[in-house]
Amino acid sequence: MTEAPSLFDALRDACADDWRAYTGHAFVRRLGDGTLPEECFRHYLGQDYLFLIHFARAYGLAVFKSDNLEDMRQAAGGMAAILDEMGLHVRYCHQWGIPAEEMAALEEAEATVAYTRFVLERGLAGDLLDLHVALSPCVVGYAEIAAALKAEAGAGLEGNPYRDWIEMYAGDDYQAVAAAQVAQLDRLMERRGGPGRLPALIDTFRTATRLEAAFWEMGLRLAR
């Protein structure tokens, strides 16, 4: 018997054009072939630091929105993982000449504000399922993007200046984070969802995916 597709698969399929625009964005392609200008990557890294702060807040909100210990532990684990990732992010940014003090003083770009506030708004206005759907293009998308870039580059990844970024998100640890997010969506849909919820969830997923693409565009164009 064929296994039913996950909720994430259904959402991604419903937003296929937007998903391709996000995962195949020029910023992503140039990360993969190593031709992305370094100033674009540094701009992205600084804004991603601010982005992660708000995503940690979103997982804190997920704890509040949870109505059982399993969901609370999952959300708390997500927040802890992001806070740990921020330590790695600070060290990685230092390698690229961006000290922690500089990142802390950065002004949020419009794309950063738009995306992070959308996620928080969906969590505040909706329930835990709405919040996790809004988070999922980032959490799962990065895993998909990095795995594809690593597979496409093969031995060519050796000389890529962005190799560490690609290998971090393509690595087993982050791939497990993405798989856990897909499983959590299915658990939440089983308890909180139903056919009537799908159109609104698709709208949330589509908007979050478009905002992800706008975040890449911000990095590519050095937008403020």
Report how far residue 209's alpha carbon sits from residue 137's, in angstroms, rounded to the nearest whole number: 6
Q: How far from the centroid of its chain's Cα atoms is residue 20's Cα?
A: 15
| Nearest CA among 90, 94, 60, 87 for reference residue 75 | 60
Give the separation between CA 55 and CA 52, rounded to whole angstroms: 5
- Active-site residues: which are they? 138, 212
CA distance from start to end of the chain: 51
d(CA 202, CA 7): 10
User: 91: which residues sit within 8 A by CB, 6+ positions away?
Assistant: none
